[in-house]
Amino acid sequence: MAAVDSFSLLLRELGRSCNCYIETLAFIGAFYTVKTCFNVLNGTYTLIRLHFIPRLVSRADLVKLYGKWAIVTGCTSGVGKSYAKELASRGVNIVLISLDKAKMEALAKEIADSYRVETAVIVADFSKGRGAYPAIEKALAGKEIGILVNNAGVFYACPDYFTNLTEDKVWDLINVNIGAVNMMVHMVLPGMVQRKKGAIINVSSVFCCQPTPKITAYSASKAYLDHFSRALHYEYAPQGIFVQSLIPFYISTDVTKFSDAPSKSSYFAPSADEFAHHAITTLGISRRTTGYWPHSIMLMFGQYLPDWLWARGLNRIFSSFHEK
């Protein structure tokens, strides 16, 4: 009996000694729960403020806010083409910069006829490095560039291991995804600063948020754009310049043609036109956004995934494309 009493006493003493640890763990758990709930509520508020309220008020006068002309790179298809049309529908003159002259001229005519704005076409191959920019700078002389949309980008033909990329592909990813953005910003930003107004939209990707295998170099280049955009905004916001990092999830474009699923327009994979129509309403409001409210919901919950789970999931998805 004494042994039983001693054991019960021991348990009580152990319980008392553990109480402080249990209370500490309970406090940590409560703090984490409150923090998570606050983040979800804040994300919901941001979602409403960013994606719904602007659509209930009159459209912003982009010409008055930023300037008469907008540059759109990578504009012959997909998001760039749709962004050019959206900007033109708001009275902004459009400079189209891409490699395919015939497609740009057709788009320029379509925009001019539909929206009664001025257009200009500049043929440039960003993959060639710094040699592309003197001609661009000369062609832009005298134009009040108020908005720059850096959309030109290179993706993989199909997700693959980094060492399977050709040397040319690696340089294309560097010259187009990173180099073109830096040089275009460096070219037009002084004029914006002089006028004390302007907007720069750098089209990144949700793949910038987590390390993503099988598109390693692409993911890293988009992470560069995201950090570049955010830092640039802190540098130049006091001088009246708005810099936005656009980080969408899947959009139904030719870029995703290696997979049947993402290339079909759906609620969570909108067409380029639908995406641009949503995204342009966030200009001047959010420095970092997906541009499309269902994508914002996905990001709000996806950001809590540990990077190993994100990497493992995407690795499995991308590996399946090779099996088809």
* Annotated catalytic residue within 66, 133, 218, 292: 218
The count of other CB atoms within 10 Å of the CB of residue 183 is 19
Cα 154 from Cα 277, distance rounded (Å): 23
Beta bridge partners of 107: none
Closest-CA residue to 284 (of 201, 186, 168, 173): 201
Q: 3-state SS of 235-258?
A: HHHHHCEEEEEECCCCCECHHHCC
Closest-CA residue to 213 (of 172, 285, 151, 159): 159
What are φ and ψ of residue 239, in 5° steps? Answer: -105, 15
Cα 48 from Cα 44, distance rounded (Å): 6
Cα 127 from Cα 168, distance rounded (Å): 9
Q: Is 133 a catalytic residue?
A: no
Tokens 């990173």 belong to: 178
Cα 18 from Cα 200, distance rounded (Å): 56
Give CA angle at 132 (125, 257), nearest 5°: 20
E-strand ranges in 68-179 read 69-73, 93-98, 119-123, 145-150
Q: Return the active site residues.
A: 218
